[in-house]
Structures are given as C-alpha cells and as structure tokens.
Amino acid sequence: MLAIYQTIHMVSVSLLLGSLIGIPIGILLVITRPNGIIENKWVYGILNPVINIVRSLPFIILLVAIIPLTKLIVNTSIGTSAAIVPLTLYIAPYIGRLVENSLLEVNPGIVEAAEAMGATPFQIIWYFLLPEAFGSLILSITTATIGLIGATAMAGVVGAGGVGDLAISYGYQRFDTFVVISTCLVLILFVQGIQSLGNVLARKARRD
C-alpha cells in the first residue's frame, strides 16, 4: 500500500505542477507561432527549441543531471519529494507540446470569426480556443498522466519508492516473480482506469 501511495503522490503532484507550467507553454507556442494571434518570432524561436531539447532527454538522464537543482529546491536529493522535481520538469514540456497540438486542431475559422467580432487575444484563448479544444485537452492530460506513471518506475534511482521501484527492488533484483507480476497488474489497472476515465470525460466534453 505504501508503494501505491507513493506512486499516486508523485504522479498527482508532478502532474499538477507540470500542468501549471505546461499549459501556458502550449498556449504560448500556439499564439506566438508564425501567423499566430500574437505572432512573436523571438518568443517562439526560443521556446520551441528549448522544449525540444528538454523532451529529447531520457528521464533517467534528466533525473541525474538536475540533482543539484533538486537539492536546492527541496533540500534533499533522495525520496519521493526529490523525485517530484525531475518528474515535473520532465512532464511540463511534454504537456506543453500536447496542449499545442490540441489547440492547433481547432478550426482556424473559429479564431478568424472571433477576431472579426473584435475579441482580444485573451478572449480568443479563454472563450474560443480552450473551450473548443477541451475534449482533446482532457485526452492530452490523460496521456501525460500515463507517461508519468511510467517515469515513476525510474524514480527509484533516487529512492523515491513507488510501484515501479517495488517491482525492480523486490521483484527483479530478488528474483521474486510474484512481486513482479503483482506490480505489473497494479500498473495495468492504474493505466486502464486513467485512460477509461479520460475517454469518458472527453466524450462528455465533446457532446457539450
């Protein structure tokens, strides 16, 4: 039960923090891109490659590379709290890119109609782009959540615990097949439950 709690804690906190960072990043990418509603080649030209660079790093490398930053922020480099820092930095640009893709799926005619009505950039984002992309955004967050669950397995390197670390430490390293199978089943149930919930919420959002 402790491992399940640790996994839920890491995923929920890092997802919340990553969303607070990633959603504005995704919006910025859309509105500042060429032909965006607030086109800005400098902002887009800096933000876009930075996101690509961070996303190109495997989580295990990012985890180790930012240990000094982790220690600076949470005053420790081991444990569940320490794992939340790299998990957040790992998922934030990923969410940003997913949000960008969701917003780009919105019919350009909707933005053009909003501009024709004299809507401000903020009004276009808040009242037109986000509501139209809401169903897709739910699926994007669902995908990010599932990605985080996978990343928590590698967080055991810094003693974060969790279901994935339990499978490696007590299952694989001690050749306990029962533990490996049990933890795999728990992770499968997690993923299936989250994906099913995301699908239901997305369908309801699209009907509305």
pLDDT 10s digits, 48-99 = 999 999 888 888 888 888 888 888 888 887 778 888 999 999 999 999 999 9
What backbone phi and psi angles, to 5 degrees, belong to 106?
-65, 135
Res 49: pLDDT: 94
CA angle at 203 for the pair 202 and 205, rounded to the nearest 5°: 65
Cβ neighbours, 10 Å, residue 108: 9
Q: What is the pLDDT of residues 127-183, one digit of tens each?
A: 999 999 999 999 999 999 998 888 887 776 666 677 766 766 666 566 667 777 887
Tokens standing for residue 123? 């009004």
Predicted confidence band of residue 18 (pLDDT cuts 50, 70, 90):
very high
pTM as predicted: 0.89
Q: Check residue 158 and report its DSSP letter.
A: G
Cα dihedral sign for 92, 95, 101, 104? negative
Taken in order of first residue, the domains within the chain and their CATH numbers are 2-207 (1.10.3720.10)
Tokens standing for residue 53? 């660079």
Helix (H, G, I), strand (E, B) or coil at 38: coil
Bigger pLDDT: 180 or 108?
A: 108
Q: Find where tokens 């009907």 sit.
A: 207
